[in-house]
A and B are shown apart, each in its own frame.
Chain A
Amino acid sequence: MGYIELIIGCIFVNNIVLAQFLGQCPFMGTSKKMETAVGMSMAVIFVLVMAGVITWLTYHFVLVPFSLVYLRTIAFILVIASLVQFVEMFLKKSIPGLYAGLGIFLPLITTNCAVMGACIFNVDKEYNFLQALVSSFGYAVGFGLALILFAGVRERILLARVPKPLQDTSIALVTAGVLSLTFFAFRGMV
């Protein structure tokens, strides 16, 4: 499978939020304002790529040789959490500007299911290292795309006259459903 197809597949066809339904919590929680949504998307891209790499390495160089594949979930959680902590400290010291932008989102996505899910897909589908890197990036961009699109829609919904029983989260869930249906149009492309 070519890398182009892989990346399109990850962003659109198997979009982690709208097709796999993972990471719904930050998808709902941080989509009220465009600014927050953009910050969150960047943080997810940053963390997911790093996590994809580190979990792939852990899986192939630690868990497989010792036949401990059944421990993958707990091992991944441990590794990802430590990685995020490490990255947070590193950014705070070395790149304070980036830390100021992403800082508050980093702990939020420590063990986000979108991150975890993407890492597990990588090993389930037996990608090689480069494929894992690309697909992690693709999933993260897919998450960012969905989040930013959704935040744009929600900002417009604020201006609309929503019937009282449907206000706030209810209308957001309905909108997310419609958005998910539109992404179903990508089915079968790859």
Chain B
Amino acid sequence: MITAVVVMLSIGGLCGIILSVASKVFYVYEDPRIAEVEYFMSGANCGGCGYAGCSAAAVAVVEGKAAPSICIVGGSESAINIAGVMGLDPGTAEPLLSLNHCLGGDRADDKFDYAGVNSCKAADLLFGGKRECRVGCIGYGDCIRSCKFDAIDMGPDGFPVVNEITCVGCGACEQACPKNIITVRTMSQRLLHFNEEDDALAPCQQTCPAEIDIPRYIDHIRKGEYEAAVHTIKERNPLLLTCGRVCPHPCEDYCRRGIEDEPVSINQLKRFVADHEMNSGRRYPVPCAADTGRKVAIIGGGPAGLSCAYFLRRLGHSPTIFEAMPRLGGITRYGIPEYRLPDDVLDWECQGILDLGIECHLNTQLGEDFTFDSLMKEGYEAIFAGIGAWKDYTLNIPGEEFDGVWQGINFLSQVAGSPEKRIPVGNKVAVVGGGNSAIDCVRTLKRLGCEEVYILYRRTRNEMPANEVEIVAAEHEGIKFQFLAAPVRVVDDGNGKVAGIEYLQMELGEPDASGRRRPVPIEGSETIIELDMLISAISQQPDLSCLEREPEKDKIAITRWSTFDNDEETVHCSLPWLFTAGDAATGPSLVVDAIGGGRRAARSIHQFLTGEEIQGSPKSLRKKHIDGTIFKTVPGIVPKRRTPMPELEVAERITSMVEVDQVIAETDARYESGRCLQCCRLCYNPDAG
């Protein structure tokens, strides 16, 4: 026994002595900072950083291969300490958070009943789990078992719930989940994500051009968490006050409640929380990633430019907006009349975006005060051109040069630009066109005191591209609609002033390329309407004369509609540093389209600045719908009346520019949010259960 102890001790002692001598003899100088850096790391050896253990990560930090924020377990505190050791800026230590998108429930049918499975991975291998729902949580809790930090628990409904305080964002749950339900993302990653085929997306979110997570913000409203609702919207759309007022809400057309009942009033709920923030007098703070100092020029302060600048700023870059007009807002200020979107609302919204740290130069016009070339020489690394579509198409009929013939955008922007929102107009006015600009023109004219306002459209009411609510409002306000009327010539009074318009009566023929029935003139049906003012508002295109002075003008690809030719997914133009979105790229379209395009541009510019390949995802949806998610019937829905839009009485509204549509009350908002079925989040029917 004693021999054994002595011998083992001597062997141990000998080994120890040899090793300690060896450590002196074979001493290799190692940067002392490695040990210091390692000290500040968690020591969990979790591998979440991508290196084999904490010491390997420490070596990488000291060698400059990794950022001080590399330790995800240590979090921002560790990043600051490590940055202190290295004498560096801590950089972007954005907190990673795990998020379970699925809230559970039993609405989806079961495919089979199999009692022997107890792990999600195994269940997934058996035909993707027992539920018909292919995007939802399986609920056996593989993520809970994978979490080393006890940050995920089985919630009361049998679905995992993440504790945001203890979650460190190590990503183990994301790897354990076989269904992409649980995701670990930084804010920047969330901002840069676009709808993809295998995401769990409600039909409304698939339809929204800005891809707002609609069920989530409605859920926040239902729970009274208005600040969280605003943040959810602002991760996709910085212009929520504007969109809450003017968006034609294509999302509501695909609302599943709308299949059996009236759709949820999604846009009014957006307006409600947006107004709630504005009326609270306090701006909810918007987090931005750490400064990168990279300069980007944003040409045009309209919805696309504001959206692009906003998202670039939140990603840490330094955008500067160049706006030709005296105030920001672009077409939302100068094209949308005061009674739909008041100036002070828009001012408040734009100021909130600028307050994030965005510079802005007003009254500076591309092609006159600067060119793309001069901006690049000033040190801007990329340029976003969101110049909008401000040139009206002409009617192409004789007499357009007469005094008193106006163009739509010109008219609306003159009204919007005048201090009292008033300019002298005629008494009998006709507007040619059937889009939203035409409706905006007629409703504005009515408010400016015109006695008779006509709208001339060459097809019928069914084919009018304007929003239905706008058409109805115009009808209420006493606008005279002249359908199936094609203008032939402008009549003058002999002194070069407009006196009337002659039009041909049409009838509908065969459908054309756009699917609308083509109007065919009826012979000999010429009619003259007496007028003292005529506005043509048939459509617009971008005014590209501002590019004349560009040295690389020939390299900028332009489409035959005189819009920038860009890649639909990346919005990247033919020059490597040029990106464009909004009406300048798509032709006249929705505000919300421009906002989505602005974010798309911000992603591409971010990729361009960080040296990544500019690319989208091959699974990107871009407003296409995921197969099998658009239902024909939704059983179990109990009809509940949709909250009506509160609006001013006609007599009250047509004498002033006061905002017509009013915000819904808080109780109505809570009721309306309760109508949402929480599609792709909550797998049970709130009506039935």
* Chain A 147-187 per-residue mask, 1 if CB under 8 angstroms from chain B, else 0: 00000000000000000110000000000000000000000
Chain B residues whose C-beta falls within 8 Å of the C-beta of A89 in the assembled complex: 19, 22-23, 26
Given contacts A86-B22, A164-B125, A58 and B11 within 8 Å (CB-CB): yes
Partner of B15, one of A62, A63, A78: A78
Given contacts A66-B3, A79-B15, A82-B18, A74 and B26 within 8 Å (CB-CB): no
Chain A residues whose C-beta falls within 8 Å of the C-beta of B7 in the assembled complex: 62-63, 66, 68, 71
A67 CA to B25 CA in the complex, in Å? 35
A46 CA to B125 CA in the complex, in Å? 42
User: Residue B575 at the A interface, CB < 8 A?
Assistant: no
Is B15 in contact with A71, judged by CB distance below 8 angstroms? no
Given contacts A68-B4, A75-B8, A82-B15, A165 and B26 within 8 Å (CB-CB): no
A-B contact pairs, 12 of them (CB 8 A): A58-B11, A62-B7, A66-B3, A68-B4, A71-B4, A74-B8, A78-B11, A78-B15, A89-B19, A89-B22, A89-B26, A92-B26
Complex interface residues of chain A between 58 and 99 (CB less than 8 A to chain B)? 58, 62-63, 66-68, 71, 74-75, 78-79, 82, 85-86, 89-90, 92-94
Q: For chain A, which range describes its interface: under 10, 10 to 19, 20 to 34, or 35 or more residues?
A: 20 to 34
Is B26 in contact with A94, judged by CB distance below 8 angstroms? yes
Q: Which residues of A contact B (CB under 8 A)?
A: 58, 62-63, 66-68, 71, 74-75, 78-79, 82, 85-86, 89-90, 92-94, 104, 164-165
Chain A residues whose C-beta falls within 8 Å of the C-beta of B15 in the assembled complex: 78-79, 82
Complex interface residues of chain B between 81 and 135 (CB less than 8 A to chain A)? 125
Chain A residues whose C-beta falls within 8 Å of the C-beta of B11 in the assembled complex: 58, 62, 75, 78-79
Chain B residues whose C-beta falls within 8 Å of the C-beta of A82 in the assembled complex: 15-16, 18-19
Q: Closest residue of chain A to B14, judged by CB?
A: A82
A78 CA to B335 CA in the complex, in Å? 83
Is B23 in contact with A71, judged by CB distance below 8 angstroms? no
Q: Which residues of B contact A (CB under 8 A)?
A: 3-4, 7-8, 11-12, 15-16, 18-19, 22-23, 25-28, 52, 125
Is B52 in contact with A86, judged by CB distance below 8 angstroms? no
Q: Closest residue of chain B to A87, judged by CB?
A: B22
Chain A residues whose C-beta falls within 8 Å of the C-beta of B52 in the assembled complex: 104
Chain A residues whose C-beta falls within 8 Å of the C-beta of B19 in the assembled complex: 82, 85-86, 89
A90 CA to B21 CA in the complex, in Å? 11
Is A68 in contact with B22, judged by CB distance below 8 angstroms? no
Counting chain A CB atoms within 10 Å of each CB, the highest count among B4, B8, B11 belongs to B11
Is B28 in contact with A71, judged by CB distance below 8 angstroms? no
Is B22 in contact with A78, judged by CB distance below 8 angstroms? no
Is A78 in contact with B12, judged by CB distance below 8 angstroms? yes
Main secondary structure, interface of B, reads: helix
A74 CA to B8 CA in the complex, in Å? 9
A63 CA to B26 CA in the complex, in Å? 30
A74 CA to B23 CA in the complex, in Å? 24
A89 CA to B3 CA in the complex, in Å? 32
Chain B residues whose C-beta falls within 8 Å of the C-beta of A86 in the assembled complex: 18-19, 22
A149 CA to B649 CA in the complex, in Å? 84
Shortest Cβ distance from residue B513 to the other chain A in the assembled complex, whole angstroms: 44
Chain B residues whose C-beta falls within 8 Å of the C-beta of A66 in the assembled complex: 3-4, 7
Q: Closest residue of chain A to B27, judged by CB?
A: A93
Known: A82-B18, A89-B19. 16 other contacts (CB 8 A): A62-B11, A63-B7, A66-B3, A66-B7, A68-B3, A71-B4, A71-B8, A75-B11, A78-B11, A79-B11, A82-B15, A86-B19, A92-B26, A92-B28, A104-B52, A164-B125
Q: Closest residue of chain B to A167, judged by CB?
A: B125
A68 CA to B110 CA in the complex, in Å? 66
Chain B residues whose C-beta falls within 8 Å of the C-beta of A79 in the assembled complex: 11, 15
Shortest Cβ distance from residue B540 to the other chain A in the assembled complex, whole angstroms: 53
Shortest Cβ distance from residue A47 to the other chain B in the assembled complex, whole angstroms: 16
A171 CA to B597 CA in the complex, in Å? 46
Chain A residues whose C-beta falls within 8 Å of the C-beta of B125 in the assembled complex: 164-165
Chain A residues whose C-beta falls within 8 Å of the C-beta of B8 in the assembled complex: 68, 71, 74-75, 78
Chain B residues whose C-beta falls within 8 Å of the C-beta of A58 in the assembled complex: 11
Shortest Cβ distance from residue A136 to the other chain B in the assembled complex, whole angstroms: 20
Chain B residues whose C-beta falls within 8 Å of the C-beta of A62 in the assembled complex: 7, 11
Q: Closest residue of chain A to B3, judged by CB?
A: A66
A79 CA to B4 CA in the complex, in Å? 16
Shortest Cβ distance from residue A148 to the other chain B in the assembled complex, whole angstroms: 22
A97 CA to B284 CA in the complex, in Å? 57
Is A90 in contact with B18, judged by CB distance below 8 angstroms? no
Q: Closest residue of chain B to A74, judged by CB?
A: B8
Shortest Cβ distance from residue A12 to the other chain B in the assembled complex, whole angstroms: 33
A165 CA to B122 CA in the complex, in Å? 8
A82 CA to B23 CA in the complex, in Å? 12
Shortest Cβ distance from residue A56 to the other chain B in the assembled complex, whole angstroms: 15
A94 CA to B25 CA in the complex, in Å? 10
Chain B residues whose C-beta falls within 8 Å of the C-beta of A63 in the assembled complex: 7
Chain A residues whose C-beta falls within 8 Å of the C-beta of B22 in the assembled complex: 86, 89-90
A92 CA to B52 CA in the complex, in Å? 19
Shortest Cβ distance from residue B588 to the other chain A in the assembled complex, whole angstroms: 49
Partner of B28, one of A68, A85, A93: A93
A162 CA to B12 CA in the complex, in Å? 50
Shortest Cβ distance from residue B52 to the other chain A in the assembled complex, whole angstroms: 7
Chain A residues whose C-beta falls within 8 Å of the C-beta of B25 in the assembled complex: 93
Shortest Cβ distance from residue A173 to the other chain B in the assembled complex, whole angstroms: 17
Q: Closest residue of chain B to A63, judged by CB?
A: B7
Shortest Cβ distance from residue B344 to the other chain A in the assembled complex, whole angstroms: 59
Q: Closest residue of chain A to B24, judged by CB?
A: A89
Q: Closest residue of chain B to A89, judged by CB?
A: B26
Shortest Cβ distance from residue A134 to the other chain B in the assembled complex, whole angstroms: 26
A71 CA to B8 CA in the complex, in Å? 9
Counting chain A CB atoms within 10 Å of each CB, the highest count among B3, B7, B16 belongs to B7
Q: Closest residue of chain B to A67, judged by CB?
A: B3
Is A93 in contact with B3, judged by CB distance below 8 angstroms? no
Chain A residues whose C-beta falls within 8 Å of the C-beta of B26 in the assembled complex: 89-90, 92-94
